[in-house]
Structure 1
Amino acid sequence: MARYLKDCSVSCKYSWDELQAVCRRQKLVCKHLAVTEDDFSDYVVDYLCNYRKIKSQEFFLVKWKGYSDSENTWEPHKNLKCPKLLQQFRQDMRLALLRDNMPLDSSSLEASAVSFILQRAKQRVKLQRWEEELNRACQHKGCIFVRNDVDLDGPPKDFTYINNYKIGGGVELNEAAVGCECTDCIKAPVNGCCAGASDNCTAYNDNMQVKIRPGMPIYECNSQCQCGIDCRNRVVQRGIQYDLCIFKTANGRGWGVCTLERIPKNSFVMEYLGEVITSEEAERRGQMYDQQGVTYLFDLDYVADVFTVDAAHYGNISHFVNHSCNPNLQVYNVFIDNLDERLPKIAFFATRAIRAGEELTFDYKMTIDEVDAESTKMDTNFSLAGMPDIPINRIRMECKCGVESCRKYLF
């Protein structure tokens, strides 16, 4: 019987808040519930729920972290030591009053305003938890932040963050059999280092920026090489190096990604990760995604259209990167431990210097000049990723990238 139950699971009957309350009362530390020893002695404000002013004195209804709603209390302003939460509450209250056409100096709130403020507060809590989950899951230097100042949507459902390809049924990886013996893989490559073994050029300069044209493959040093992780021919395998933010776009493009740091031209930014599936399985899923009006299928057609990456349910931050007709990211095929040319890694490099705060984008209909015949081309339906439910092949989907050179339609 045990072997049949091994993969079974049931939902917990307690809510997140109730579990936190149990931990606090039993003085149990739980990293996943964000309960620490500091929570045992101090009362922590989770969020503010309501507002009233009595004889010029402000009072706030407080939801205490780790305690149920029934234990909320009204507290005067002087008792609260949470300036950030107070600022957020005042911003939400102002929006709620404007929505209800109420005076901004109201001494109490209508039920609709309280409902809006509660939804915003609970949304922030959910997004904060999701942000913490993402950073626990990721294995790269760059941190991930989450922001939604547009609507009341919380984290996406049924999405698991991964750091490497998830190999699907019918797909096998062939690990690298040999490695290089270089002492300096960039300045003094032996026999051309790993790239030379495949009759290709070294892809990076001294600053680990890509120097070859799009369409040419990148061969990085692998687990069999004599060099260490500090080797300058190990770029993609180091992972994301920049702090990035998943944010909700204001023009109906769903979630997007922006950089919180300046990214130099030709620098590696991120991989496109997901579940690697066969082309037959991709066709089956594609038909299903077409009915939903979404798809995250990326054909690995470097030498043959045999495998596809599906990032719908498994992926990294690239899952949220939007399309642009004038993108700041360019695709390269990368080979590290797996030298099967049908299964390259898909890496995004900056086409130009990218400012801090700028949205990251790539062209869903990306093509390479014909001279670079060995290029990667996006799946023709990829431009539907993250879009609303629209029948395929019946209307042309409008592009909302907003650049001057916009093609007006995604397909």
Structure 2
Amino acid sequence: MPIPAVNTIDNDEPPKLFYCARRFPYNHQVDVKTISRDYCSGCSCTDDCSDPLKCECQQLTVSNVQRLAKSFRPPPGEYGYSYRILLGKTITGVFECNDNCGCQQKRCFNRVVQQPIRYPIQIYKTAQSGWGVRALCDIPAGAFIANYVGALLTDSIADALQGEDEYFADLDLNDAVENEKATTLEKCGYLDMGIGSSDEEDEAAMSKKDADDDGLGSDMSSSSSSEEEEPKMKKIRRKHKEMQNEELNPRRKKLNAAELEKIDAAAAVGDDTVFKWADYFGENNTLFVVDAKKKGNVGRFLNHSCDPNVQVQHVFVDTHDLRLPWSSFFAIRNIKAGEELCWNYGYSPEALDPDRPRHRQLFCKCGSANCRGRLL
């Protein structure tokens, strides 16, 4: 589908971009041999995968969700797809059908983000936030909009490209799961108890929090576009080493040694189902980043909002390597024609650096009631 670009603000042309529909390795140093049908399982469906209980690929999505502790596990009907509509954010990733499946690509109900863009959208110059994307028709909640496409970099290569991170997007599924868990617990007033925490540990954390509210127990407490329009700082990476280092992770800094040991140890209950990222990948724990600065697609033009109408969903299409999902945009709610499409870049409040130079600070101009103002 052709994507038009308009500018009624000034005479600027859209930034030059080599358009590509699929991701690709940045250079020969980026080993992505796991992007292959050899690293995928397939389904045996003959009904266009209309029955999720019989489709092996859709059951992979279900089994991954079941690995979450019960307190984080969404109920059936609130994750995955239904008739190509995303039912709800699936933090453990959605597994689509692939080249190993016998279903037809254009008719399969479990092939969504690998399909062409369905809803007409437009790149346009906004009054305050540079170039953005808006809907040209009504888009229903849960509908697929576009993917975030670009060059695949390793985390080490990305770290070396200082000053060129305006359009980086992190593919760290482990980090995404932990951040969602932390956000959920903070909304409830509880601290994140880490990967693989059992239901007993969650209950203990909640009990401890209740005791603290009564004045008992420890003193733990729960945490609560740039001046220049171009380039937009679309860096949403969170370095894996920061998530593992208690000195750099603000949530871990609030926990004492005994609690940290409890988090880092395998859960005593459900140990056979708890997935331990570090143990699974071992030394081959390379993380990947998508860079859409020079080569990419329309996804790079979506702006930030503190009250977004679009969310990112990790989807597995061409590999089941958990380090290499696709980053796909879905509508959070019903979107009216003419609305700008925006997502939350995922910057943490702890990322604010009071000493950051003014020209490198990132300000949000979304205008929502809960706008944070400054993001970086």
TM-score interval for Structure 1 and Structure 2 normalised by the shorter chain: 0.5 to 0.7
Which of 303, 307, 318 aligns to 1:326? It is 307
Describe the superposition over 1:162-192 as per-residue Cα deviations: whole angstroms up to 9, x where unpaired: 1000212323132133310012354434654
| 2:31 equivalent to 1:171 | yes
Measure how far apart 1:319 and its partner are: 1.2
Measure how far apart 1:272 and its partner are: 0.6
Measure how far apart 1:143 and its partner are: 2.7
Which residue does the alignment assign to 1:146?
A: 5
Q: Secondary structure at the match of 2:300?
A: helix
Report the Cα distance in structure 2 between the residues aligned to 1:405 and 1:173, rounded to whole angstroms. 43
Describe the superposition over 1:109-153 as per-residue Cα deviations: whole angstroms up to 9, x where unpaired: xxxxxxxxxxxxxxxxxxxxxxxxxxxxxxxxx330110011111
Q: Secondary structure at the match of 1:232?
A: coil
Report the Cα distance in structure 1 between the residues aligned to 2:355 and 2:154, rounded to whole angstroms. 22
Which residue does the alignment assign to 1:183?
A: 46
Q: Secondary structure at the match of 1:237?
A: coil
Letter in 2 for 1:276: L
Which residue does the alignment assign to 1:66?
A: none
Percent of aligned pairs with the same amino acid: 38
| 2:339 equivalent to 1:358 | yes
Letter in 2 for 1:409: R
| 2:287 equivalent to 1:310 | no
Describe the superposition over 1:359-389 as per-residue Cα deviations: whole angstroms up to 9, x where unpaired: 000011268xxxxxxxxxxxx79xxxxxxxx
Gaps of 5+ in 1: 1-141, 368-379, 382-390
Which residue does the alignment assign to 1:236?
A: 113
Does structure 2 retain, via aligned residues, the 8 Å contact 1:173–1:340?
Answer: no
Specify whether residues 410 and 366 from structure 1 end up closer, same or farther in structure 2 by C-alpha distance, changes over 3 A only. closer
Which residue does the alignment assign to 1:218?
A: 94
Specify whether residues 151 and 332 from structure 1 end up closer, same or farther in structure 2 by C-alpha distance, changes over 3 A only. same
Describe the superposition over 1:52-100 as per-residue Cα deviations: whole angstroms up to 9, x where unpaired: xxxxxxxxxxxxxxxxxxxxxxxxxxxxxxxxxxxxxxxxxxxxxxxxx
Measure how far apart 1:268 and its partner are: 0.6
Write the mapping of 1:29-178 to structure 2, written as runs, cut at 5 A.
142-157=1-16, 159-169=17-27, 170-174=30-34, 175-177=36-38, 178=41
Which residue does the alignment assign to 2:364?
A: 399
RMSD between aligned alpha carbons?
2.3
Write the mapping of 1:340-359 to structure 2, written as runs, cut at 5 A.
340-359=321-340
Report the Cα distance in structure 2 between the residues aligned to 1:189 and 1:249, rounded to whole angstroms. 41
Which residue does the alignment assign to 2:56?
A: 193
Q: Secondary structure at the match of 1:288?
A: coil
Measure how far apart 1:156 and its partner are: 1.5
Report the Cα distance in structure 1 between the residues aligned to 2:52 and 2:134, rounded to whole angstroms. 36
Report the Cα distance in structure 1 between the residues aligned to 2:343 and 2:355, rounded to whole angstroms. 22
Describe the superposition over 1:271-323 as per-residue Cα deviations: whole angstroms up to 9, x where unpaired: 011100011111121x123xxxx611111111374110111111100111111
Gaps of 5+ in 2: 66-78, 176-239, 241-286
Does structure 1 retain, via aligned residues, the 8 Å contact 2:149–2:290?
Answer: yes
Does structure 1 retain, via aligned residues, the 8 Å contact 2:52–2:58?
Answer: no
TM-score of the aligned structures, taking structure 1 as reference length:
0.55
TM-score of the aligned structures, taking structure 2 as reference length:
0.60
Report the Cα distance in structure 2 between the residues aligned to 1:392 and 1:316, rounded to whole angstroms. 34
Q: Secondary structure at the match of 2:321?
A: coil
Does structure 1 retain, via aligned residues, the 8 Å contact 2:45–2:55?
Answer: no
Report the Cα distance in structure 1 between the residues aligned to 2:290 and 2:172, rounded to whole angstroms. 11
| 2:166 equivalent to 1:295 | yes
Describe the superposition over 1:180-221 as per-residue Cα deviations: whole angstroms up to 9, x where unpaired: 001235443465421324624672113x10114341310000
Letter in 2 for 1:155: P
Letter in 2 for 1:221: C
Q: Secondary structure at the match of 1:318?
A: helix
Describe the superposition over 1:219-245 as per-residue Cα deviations: whole angstroms up to 9, x where unpaired: 000011010011010010003111111
Report the Cα distance in structure 2 between the residues aligned to 1:186 and 1:200, rounded to whole angstroms. 19
Letter in 2 for 1:176: R
Specify whether residues 392 and 184 from structure 1 end up closer, same or farther in structure 2 by C-alpha distance, changes over 3 A only. farther
Which structure has the larger Rg over C-alpha atoms?
1
Letter in 2 for 1:144: I
Specify whether residues 319 and 197 from structure 1 end up closer, same or farther in structure 2 by C-alpha distance, changes over 3 A only. closer
Does structure 1 retain, via aligned residues, the 8 Å contact 2:58–2:110?
Answer: no
With a CA cutoff of 8 Å and minimum separation of 6, indicate the structure with the bigger relative contact order. Answer: 2
Q: Secondary structure at the match of 1:283?
A: helix
Specify whether residues 392 and 275 from structure 1 end up closer, same or farther in structure 2 by C-alpha distance, changes over 3 A only. farther
Does structure 1 retain, via aligned residues, the 8 Å contact 2:44–2:102?
Answer: yes
Does structure 2 retain, via aligned residues, the 8 Å contact 1:146–1:245?
Answer: yes
Which residue does the alignment assign to 2:213?
A: none
Aligned length: 241
Specify whether residues 404 and 189 from structure 1 end up closer, same or farther in structure 2 by C-alpha distance, changes over 3 A only. closer
